Structure formats: structure tokens, C-alpha cells
Structure 1
Amino acid sequence: MSAVTPARIGLLVDYLDEHGGYDDNILDALRLVFDEYAEQGIFERPVEFVVRAVQGLPNGSFRAVRDAFHELLDQDVLVIFGPWVSENGVALRRYVEDAAEVACITMGASETMLGEWVFGLPAGSMEEEPIIMATVAALDGCRTVGIAFEDSLIGTEYLRTTRAACADVGLRITGEVPIPQVESDKRAAIAALAVDKPDGILHVGFGLGIPGMNDALSEIGWMPSRYTTTAFEFAATSEWWRHQLAGWIGLDQYDERNQTGKEFLDRFEARYGRRPEYFWPLYCYDVGRIMAIALADARPLSGPGVKGALEKIKMLPAASGAPGTRLWFGKFIRHGWMGSEFLVARRVLPDGSRSVLHGTIEGLIESPQLP
């Protein structure tokens, strides 16, 4: 008998950490998904992950992302997970659509990157996150806010929708200041926001503009309530990031109440001997199941076949978000999350030690874990 060619799955990693790598739990979570589906007889063909990891925008270049996409096509992948960053996804969209060969599932937040071949499973979006963030700030008692927006494609998209979200919940904006999308001195920007002493600060952007904001606030002796987008998920990546986000409230996809996520972490721990209780492994469980189901249901097993199978996924319980979140795509549906609480608000404790659940768009959450 001739050997069976593996089904190749592409990973287009477009954001690398300070060591030039990416989270080890990503591939481990994806491998566990496909092993479980093989054990259940859902998808019997062997699977091979083809990874292209490059430094795209904001720290690197878009060209690296574009080249990585074409390299994955040359490797005969059937579906691509990535890119992750909106600025790369917006620029890559036309190349994906022109190729019309494989579907990309992106976690990027900009809806302008969605298309016939680009499916979104975003860690929030520029349209949704400001609504949740402003609602939580209002629930916390804020009546006035200053906005620090990263001076970038992402930041300006967020700024537009944040203005509307604040108006909808009755938050008065006292000032708006641009900040660089990379680490820089934030003292002038913070001083400008401090003139009117708003109840809170809303940061919008990718997140690399946050470092230094706490230090600048401490320097002038002003520490209002502070809110951010899913940039908050950087808090899960290192102690350094938790220090930068100490005291901040932001949007996240990890909710310890989610039973689907808890059961996956139980199995992950049994296999690997560690329990990574944060958003990435759960997100990868969700995107991994979407890809596995699409590969299993594709007729034929080709790029277009996988795209058609993705469009048939309905009501899949998600490990991400609050209990009740589900996954759903369709012929003209490219945003995969269902449910108003696919994003929750978490808070990093003042000492930077960990984050705790704070609330959702439906209200604040009373919990013994909140000090």
C-alpha cells in the first residue's frame, strides 16, 4: 500500500516574543485536538503542522508575512491559522483572496480583513471591544474618561468606535492623546490626560503602547481607573507584562467558569503535566476543533472543500469566553463567536501577581476571589 499523504495545516505566526519565539502551548493544544479526533475516528488521516513564524507589524514588516503566506501555499496546506495581528491581516487580505486556494482563520480584530477566504475568530474586534470596555467602565462608576490611542491603523479604528461606545453609555470624553505603538516615554501623554482629571483612562490599540503608563501615572501621583482592550491578554505572557498592567481592567477570553474550557485543561494537564490557565490554550482548542471538523467534513479534501466545510460549522460549544459561548460560521458569516460574553473583563491585582475575573458586558461579577 502506498503511504498516505498527511493533511497539512499551516500556522502563520506574525508576532514573535522578545526571544524570537512564540507560546509553546499553541502547538501542544492543537496536537491534542487532532489526536483526540483521531482516537474518536472523526479524522483518520495523519496531520502535519507547517509553521512559518515571522516578525510582522507592528515591530517587523508586512513583507515577511506576505512571503510566509506564499510559502505555506507552496507547502500544500489545506487551511491556515493566522495571521494574528490586524495590520498584517488587512494588508494580506487581497493576497489570500487573489490566490483563492485556502481559507485563513485569523484572530485579528479588524473586520476589513474578512472576505470569501478569510474567516475571523478574533480576540474581540474594533467594533465590539470598545462597547464592552465602556460598559464595564460605566458599571464601575466612571462618568468621565480620557482616551490614549495608539497612533496606528489599529488605534485609529479603535478610537472611532470608542467615541461612539462612550456616548452610548453616557461617558464624557475629556481628552484624547495619541501614543506610539511601541514602548516609549508616556509622561507627556499622561500629563495631557491628567489636566481634566477624568474618572478613568481608556487605552485602545494593539498593546505595545501600554508599557510605561503606570510609571508615568505614579510619577504625577494620579492613579485613576484604567481600562484596555484585549491588549490585556499580554498580562498572561510574563511577570513583566503583569507589572505593566498592574491595576488595569481589560478584556480577555479566559473565564474559569467555562466548563468546556475546564475539561480541556484537565485533559491537557493529564497529557503534558502542566495546566496553563489563560486564554491561549483554550483559544487554540477552539480554532483546532474548527479546523479538524472542516478537514473531516471537506468534500473533496482540498482548500475549497475545507472552506465549504467551515461554512457549515454551527453551535459548537467554545472553551473561550463565558459559559454559553459558541462557535458558528456560514456562507456569509465570517465572525465565529456567538454570545455577548465571548469577551470578559479581568483585572490584574495591584501587586501584579495575577488576574481575576471582574465583569462582562452583562454586569460586574461578585466573587470571593476579588479582594
Structure 2
Amino acid sequence: MTSIEDRWLKLAPVRVGWLGMEWRRFEREITMAFDEAVERGVLDRRYEFLFEDDAGLPQGTAKGGVESYRRLVEAGCLAVVGANYTDSAMALAQYANESQVPLISMAGTDAFHGEYCFRMGNGDVGGDPALIVNWLKREGHSRVAVLAPWSPIGEEYFRFFRQECRRLGVSVAAVEMVDNATTTDELTAKFRVLRDSGADALAWLGYGGLVVSGAVREALDKLGWDPPRIMTTAFMQYIWGFEQLEGWVGIDQWCPENPRMHRFHARFVARYGEDPWMWPNAIPGLAYDMAAVVAEALHRATVLTGPGVKEGLERIRFMPAVTGGPNTHIAGGPYDHQMFKGDWLHYGRIRDGVLEFAGLYESTDDY
């Protein structure tokens, strides 16, 4: 055994926590990111992953999520990744800040913030509406009907949406509210109201539970209504099946114009002998990026403690990203914990049961 190998084995491994049942599905992606960090010399010691499936809300309780996070902290995790639903992240923010162990989440809400809260959003409650209204304007739609599922971020989405409509001169013709208990018949009735409002496009603002269940497609089919339509990053629920989203444009993070996405895919196939689950879609690359960020933060940490890893996250600059468009990169700062920069959100479309890239953001303003 060489002296380097001997030293490696004598060093205690760093522990990283993964909070939420989804991480079992993407364990290969996060392991690949850490193994590559070891191979490149970025990570100079062994690592251990600890998993807690119960991230709390919305499927469980806030108490359950808090207890899961605390178990990971008490087990010695230097960072926790997860609490990816907005509800869960909002409930955990206080405890992450109190525990001084960074929590890195895919949540998109502005309500998840603080000294130890970091976002690598699977969407953004302000950014999604900005891109949606931009698309409406560019496509020539001047009156939009809105279906706004009730959720903790529903009002946040709608506030930004109205702001962008005012800015770009798009009128809101009608608004209907639903929740995950809404039946297909009730949803059909609400779509009828929206159709009869005289709107020339439909926007969905919120979560995607009714989309995944097939209720949205069934309701539209019942009405025979096939409007131009666009949704928030609930669109990325295509990971559970493309057919439910037939005909929709949505905010996405899988971009074939990003060469790093292709290289990630090639390395994954070389390592594991198959495509990531449900490829092509954005989430495997996002999982990889989140893991790679933790490895980079450990490399940059002033000391291997929660506060040290926090400083490591804040020292990242211009880190290449698999997620998003070709100009997406990752960076932090002492007062900047929204870590994706550049064209990290763009447009996708489902047509004939296939995911298509539908373009990057382009300003509608003429300067």
C-alpha cells in the first residue's frame, strides 16, 4: 500500500445527507459526481452518503421532515441536499439556519432563504412566470386564461405572473383555482369557464399533481379544447411519463444545446452501461450538478464543519453546469445563495409523446 493510499484510509470519510425519497432513484448520478471529484483530485478523502426518505411536506408532515434533517445533522453530515418540494424547504429553513449545516434544495420559492439555505432550483417562482409571459408575448397571445393550483407557492407565482403581464401588456382573461383533490369533472368545468372567457392561450401556474394523474389531459380532451398552452416547471413532471403533457410548452432545464449535458450522458452510459432513468429529461443532470456542487464546496471549505462548507459554497464561481442552456454556470456568494446563473431555465415541449427543446429565453424588448 502506498503512503497516499494509507493516508486516504486513515482519514475519516466526509458525510453528506440526502433528504427525500427521490434520491434513491438518482443515487448513481450523485455517486458519479463524487467519484469523478475523487478521480480529479477535487475530493481528497472518502465519502459516505446517508439517506432519509421522509422530507416532510407535502406528502408527510413538517415535523417528519425536521426530524429527518436533524438525524442527518446528528450523524455528522457536513451538508444536506434535498427538501426539494417548496413546502418542505420552507418548513426546514429555520432549522437549517439554527443547525448551521447547509441545506441545498431544488425548491424555487423566495421563502427558502437564510445563511445556511442554498438553492439550485428545479425552477423559480419569479423566473417561471417571467419566461411564461415572455413566451405569450413572443407568440402573439394577448389574452391568457390562467389555471392556478392552490399551493404554498400559488400566490407567489401569481404575484410575479401579474407583474410580468402588466410589464408586457398581456391581459388576464380569467382565473380558476384547483387543488390536488379536484376531480376530473370539476377540472373540466373550470377549463370550460377558461375556454369561454375568450382567451387565446392557457397558462398553468403551480404544481403538477393533476398533470401527472392524467386529469388535465382527460379534462381538455373531454372539452375538445386544444389551446396554445404553457406551464411552470411543473412541466418537468414529464419524468413520470410524457403522454400526460401532450401539447404543452413548459419551463425546462434539459437543453441539447448544452455540450456538458451530452458529455454527462456519455460518461454516465460508459460507467453504468445504460441511459439515466427516463432519459432524456432534466433531473439526472440536476442531481449530478447538486452533488458536484457539494464536492466542490468540500474542496473549498475553510474547515470541514457546517460553517466551513457554507463558506465553500459561497466561494464557488463559474462552475460549469450540466443543467440548463449552454451559458448556465454555478456560483455563490455571502449574500447570493441562488446558485444557478445564466440561461438555466428555458422552454420545452411535448409533441407526439416526445420531449423537444423549444428554445432559450429571448427578450421581447427593443432597446
1:285-322, Cα deviation, whole Å (9 max, x unpaired): 21122100111221211111111111100011111111
Structure 2 distance, partners of 1:361, 1:311, is 27
The residue correspondences of 1:283-294 to structure 2 (distance < 5 A) are 283-294=286-297
Q: How many residues align?
A: 350
What is the identity, as a one-letter code, of the residue corresponding to 2:344?
Answer: F
TM-score under structure 2 normalisation?
Answer: 0.91
Match of 2:239 among 203, 224, 236: 236
Q: Is the 8 A contact 2:347 2:358 kept in 1?
A: yes
Residue 265 (structure 1) aligned with residue 272 (structure 2):
no
Match in the other structure for 2:117: 118
Percent identity (aligned): 29
Query: What residue number does 1:367 align with?
Result: none
1:42-191, aligned counterparts within 5 Å?
Answer: 42-54=42-54, 56-100=56-100, 102-182=101-181, 184-185=183-184, 186-191=187-192
Counterparts of 2:134 and 2:25 in 1: how far apart (Å)? 32
Matching residue's letter, 2:95 = Y
Q: 2:229: which partner in 1? A: 226
**Aligned partner of residue 43 in structure 1, secondary structure:** coil
Q: Cα deviations across residues 48-105 of structure 1 (Å, max 9, x unaligned)?
A: 11110126323332222111111111111000111101111112111111222x1011
Corresponding residue for 2:220?
217
Unaligned ranges ≥5, structure 2: 1-5
Residue aligned with 2:48, SS: strand
* Residue in 2 that maps onto 1:9: 16
Q: Is the 8 A contact 1:145 1:202 kept in 2?
A: yes
How far off is 1:182 after superposition?
A: 4.8
Alpha carbons of 1:281 and 1:121: their partners in 2 closer, same or farther (altered >3 Å)?
Answer: same
- Does the 8 Å CA contact 2:55/2:88 hold for their aligned counterparts? no
Q: What amino acid is the match of 1:345?
A: Y
Distance 1:74 1:55, change over 3 A: closer
Unaligned 5+ runs, structure 1: 17-21, 365-371
Report 1:303-318 matches (<5 A).
Answer: 303-318=306-321
Distance 1:132 1:343 in 2: 8
Equivalent pair of 1:6/1:46 in contact (CA under 8 Å): yes
| Aligned position for 1:369 | none
Give the superposition deviation at 1:151: 1.2
Is 2:274 the partner of 1:274? yes
Q: Report the Cα offset of residue 356 of structure 1.
A: 0.3
Distance of aligned partners of 1:182 and 1:5 in 2 relative to their CA distance in 1, 3 Å threshold: farther
CA distance in 1, matches of 2:110, 2:210: 22
